[in-house]
Amino acid sequence: MPKKIKLRCIILEGKDLVYIFSDGSSLGNPGPGGYGVLLRFKKYEKEIKKGYILTTNNRMELLGAITGLELLKKSYKVILITDSRYVVDGINLGWARKWQSNNWMKNNKDKAKNVDLWERLLKQTNRHDITFQWTAGHSGHEENERSDQLATSAANGSNLIEDTGFEK
């Protein structure tokens, strides 16, 4: 699968596409966590990472994707590649929109988690034309490996901040 994604990047190169590779990490779940983002547009590349004192892996996966999208100053066609099924399936299978339409309740009547972040991500899906693609983690996909390194480094960092939306 990683080679297929790399090939697609080569085929689409030169168009006004933004590529976002994101990953999240937590050391314990909950525990200290971080996200890492590798953003590419034409010949430009930017790396972003941030760490949090107490959070979950899923929150960091969401926040990585959101951060990459929110950095874009105008509307773009985006290919967002992550190893998080939670993020990809939440959008591609329509879970997040369904939860939103049910006042953030899941089918089993439990409250959906990470509502603050899903709202931000859904806002970005209205702003950009985004293709969410899943890739297997730790499988040699160069950009995913880099975003994982950034996320892990952020989670292990000394300048951790509070995840104000995290509900214990």
Per-residue pLDDT at 124? 98
Burial of 4: CB neighbours in 10 Å, binned 0-12, 13-18, 19+: exposed
Per-residue pLDDT at 15? 57
- What size, in residues, is the chain? 168
23 is catalytic: yes
Q: Is residue 65 part of a domain?
A: yes
Q: Give the CATH number, domain containing residue 95.
A: 3.30.420.10
Q: Is residue 166 part of a domain?
A: no
Q: What is the pLDDT along the chain (168 residues), one digit of tens a residue?
A: 333 334 344 444 445 899 999 999 999 999 999 999 999 999 999 999 999 999 999 999 999 999 999 999 999 999 999 999 999 999 999 999 999 999 999 988 899 999 999 999 999 999 999 999 999 888 888 899 999 999 999 999 999 999 999 987
Q: Is residue 34 part of a domain?
A: yes
Number of domains the chain contains:
1
* List 33, 61, 64, 145, catalytic entry: 61
* List 36, 51, 83, 90, catalytic entry: 83
Q: Is residue 145 part of a domain?
A: yes
Burial of 135: CB neighbours in 10 Å, binned 0-12, 13-18, 19+: buried
Q: Is residue 75 part of a domain?
A: yes
Q: Is residue 70 part of a domain?
A: yes
Range of the structural domain that residue 115 is part of: 2-155
163 is catalytic: no
138 is catalytic: yes
